[in-house]
């Protein structure tokens, strides 16, 4: 719309400077915008079913809660589909907005409360409100949740945590409480549940994301391995074949490079700053001792030609954390032997209040701790959850060293995470581990694009969208959304899942793909798209 108010203001100003000007101006009518009717080109949207994982469910800020579900991208789509004959869209809404849920299933922990921003950092709602002396409500699973209010089963089959291999797994309801609370049978699979509703249109989103996410968030430590590409190919082809046999029209999205998410890009590789106003003085005071401790180990690294492992702290510049890299050759024995052969090692041990008889023990412990140690580099990704432990004493290490006879104070000095105790594999994604994730993601995405093309389905490239957000930013109405944590607007406080506004953007990308494939006009129709300003990027702690 043209901004006529500035023209009027200019003329009014002239009226005050010239007595010959008529100040009574005719009212200028606002420019009218013609209404464009929605036309879906014969697309049957009367029974829309969404199938997917966390994004589909509306998971945000580290939890699933009522407001986030109401702003899920499938629910946003369903509201737009209403204008073209779309039917009711039922979601398994949580009871409140805390995100907490008590799980009456042995071996499954209660689900976490949602994250809020406390003005300085993300924090769990229950911890924040408990600190203020306020109670936090919880919710429990209860009978009847498996049916929507009208007696039907739910059309949003979005289940946080679901991998590709879980979608058609009978009995998954007993393993995942999010599906358990909506499933109408303990043996039904997510795919069967979706197909049983005879959808006329579907979305199949972020399948494959959790197949690499668990590996990535655990630092590639092997506790949650990546789903092999061949396995993914088989299960994905099978689920799409089953879906399209009932419903031939829908949208498929691919998998983004999750290492572009702020969960992996927020914590720098070199966060140890001797000039930090809060922690710098304490670090600076320790640096001479740290360099003495690492000096003997560095001589071993140098003798072995492993100069890229040398660990030395600067008094002026930010310092990288020390990490354990399991891809490195273990030189524990060489470190132990090299230290014991040094004439300065016994005096070094004695300066810590230990006897000379403790030298073999200390040398052995140094070998054990630093045999695969190196300083982190800019090529390493430090996971977001490490921000709460870097520089703090690892109690397991503390107790271990005390059990070996070290005094508590000394054991604590050698148990500082990322400083004297190398960060464990679970806190770091090395370049080799990142390559594993990228290779799997590329393989999944080749399959997804191929299947979408073969089946004549609309396709959304989430990978390209996230890449744009992590580089130049994605324009959404008057907002430029980036992948920066807290301030970017696209990724929620957990560093992985979208904000509500991010889900609105995703809905619009899906609507655009529908236009391209099926000849509809959501992009140009009046109110055909979601508006950025109608969706928040965060939720208040008072929302419960």
Helix or strand or coil: residue 245? helix
Domains of the chain: 1-33 (no CATH), 48-266+431-534 (3.40.50.1110), 280-375+381-429 (no CATH)
Which residues are within 8 A (CB) of 223 and not within 5 positions of it... i.e. 6 or more apart?
A: 426
Which residues are within 8 A (CB) of 302 and not within 5 positions of it... i.e. 6 or more apart?
A: 310
Q: pLDDT of 434-457, one tens digit each? A: 999 999 999 999 999 999 999 999
Helix or strand or coil: residue 369? helix
**Cα(182)–Cα(159) distance, integer angstroms:** 10
First to last CA, the chain: 39
Q: What is the pLDDT of residue 100?
A: 84
DSSP states of 512-539? HHHHHHH---TTTSTT-S--GGGS-SS-
Sign of the CA dihedral with 227 first, then 233, 237, and 238 last: negative
Residue spans of beta strands (DSSP E) within 17-109: 48-52
How far CA 68 is from CA of 98, 141, 410, 475, in Å, comes to 11, 18, 48, 22
Low-confidence ranges of the chain (pLDDT < 50): 1-21, 142-144
Q: pLDDT of 248-293, one tens digit each? A: 999 999 999 999 999 999 999 999 999 999 889 999 999 999 999 9
Which residues are within 8 A (CB) of 347 and not within 5 positions of it... i.e. 6 or more apart?
A: none
| Phi, psi of 482, deg, nearest 5 | -120, 175
DSSP states of 175-224? T-HHHHTT-SSTT--HHHHHHTT--SEEEEE-TTHHHHHHHHHTTT-SSS
- What are the residues facing 324 on neighbouring strands? 373
**Cα(422)–Cα(412) distance, integer angstroms:** 14
Measured in whole angstroms, how far is the alpha carbon of residue 355 from the centre of its chain?
A: 49
How far CA 74 is from CA of 41, 56, 340, 509, in Å, comes to 21, 6, 65, 12
The secondary structure element, H or E, covering residue 468 is: helix 462-471
The residue with tokens 């300065």 is 344
If 0-12 CB within 10 Å is exposed, 13-18 middle and 19+ buried, where does residue 341 land? exposed
Q: What is the pLDDT of residue 130?
A: 86
If DSSP states are collapsed to H, E and C, what string results for 296-365? HHHHHHHHCCCHHHCCCCCCCCCECCEEECCCCCCCHHHHHHHHHCCCCHHHHHHCCCCCHHHHHHHHHH
Question: How many percent of the chain have pLDDT more than 90?
Answer: 83
Which residues are within 8 A (CB) of 278 and not within 5 positions of it... i.e. 6 or more apart?
A: none
**Cα(92)–Cα(101) distance, integer angstroms:** 14
Q: What is the pLDDT of residue 335?
A: 97
């Amino acid at each position: 719309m043209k901004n006529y108010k500035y023209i009027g203001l200019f003329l009014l100003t002239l009226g005050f400077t010239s007595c010959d000007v008529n100040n009574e101006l005719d009212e200028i009518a606002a420019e009218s915008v013609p209404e464009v009717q929605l036309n879906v080109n014969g697309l049957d949207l009367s029974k829309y079913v969404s199938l997917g994982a966390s994004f589909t469910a509306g998971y945000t800020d580290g939890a699933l809660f009522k407001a986030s579900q109401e702003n899920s991208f499938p629910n946003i789509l369903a509201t737009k589909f209403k204008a073209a004959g779309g039917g009711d869209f039922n979601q398994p809404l949580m009871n409140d907005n805390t995100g907490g849920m008590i799980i009456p299933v042995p071996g499954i922990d209660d689900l976490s409360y949602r994250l809020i921003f406390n003005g300085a950092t993300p924090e769990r709602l229950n911890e924040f409100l408990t600190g203020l002396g306020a109670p936090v409500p919880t919710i429990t699973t209860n009978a009847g949740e498996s049916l929507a209010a009208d007696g039907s089963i739910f059309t949003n089959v979005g289940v946080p945590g679901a991998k590709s291999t879980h979608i058609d797994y009978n009995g998954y309801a007993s393993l995942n409480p999010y599906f358990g609370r909506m499933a109408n049978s303990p043996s039904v699979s997510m795919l069967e549940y979706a197909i049983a509703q005879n959808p006329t249109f579907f979305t199949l989103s972020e399948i494959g994301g959790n197949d690499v996410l668990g590996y990535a968030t655990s630092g590639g430590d092997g506790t949650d391995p990546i789903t092999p590409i061949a396995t993914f190919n088989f299960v994905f082809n099978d689920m799409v074949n089953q879906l399209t046999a009932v419903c031939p029209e829908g949208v498929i999205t691919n998998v983004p490079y999750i290492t572009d998410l702020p969960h992996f890009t927020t914590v720098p590789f070199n966060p140890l700053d001797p000039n930090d106003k809060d922690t710098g003085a304490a670090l600076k005071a320790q640096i001479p001792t740290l360099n003495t401790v690492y000096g003997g180990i560095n001589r071993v690294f140098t003798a072995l030609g492993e100069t890229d492992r040398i660990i030395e702290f600067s008094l002026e510049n930010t310092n990288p954390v020390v990490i354990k890299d399991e891809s490195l050759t273990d030189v524990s024995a060489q470190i132990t032997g090299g230290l014991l052969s040094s004439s300065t090692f016994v005096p070094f041990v004695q300066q810590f209040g230990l006897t000379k008889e403790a030298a073999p023990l200390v040398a052995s412990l140094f070998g054990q701790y630093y045999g695969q140690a190196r300083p982190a580099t800019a090529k390493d990704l430090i996971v977001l959850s490490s921000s709460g432990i870097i520089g703090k004493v690892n109690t397991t290490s503390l107790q271990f060293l005390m059990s070996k006879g070290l005094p508590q104070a000394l054991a604590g000095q050698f148990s500082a995470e990322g400083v004297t105790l190398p960060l464990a594999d679970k806190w770091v994604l090395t370049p080799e581990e990142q390559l594993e994730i990228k290779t799997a993601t590329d393989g999944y995405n080749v399959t997804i694009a191929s299947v979408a093309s073969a089946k004549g389905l609309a396709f959304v490239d989430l990978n390209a969208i996230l890449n744009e957000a992590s580089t130049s930013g994605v324009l959404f109405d008057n907002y430029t959304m980036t992948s920066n944590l807290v301030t970017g607007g696209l990724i929620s406080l957990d560093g992985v899942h979208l904000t509500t506004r991010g889900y609105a953007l995703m809905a619009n990308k899906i609507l655009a793909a529908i236009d391209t494939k099926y000849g509809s006009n959501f992009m140009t129709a009046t109110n055909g798209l979601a508006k950025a300003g109608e969706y928040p990027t965060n939720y208040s702690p008072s929302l419960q």
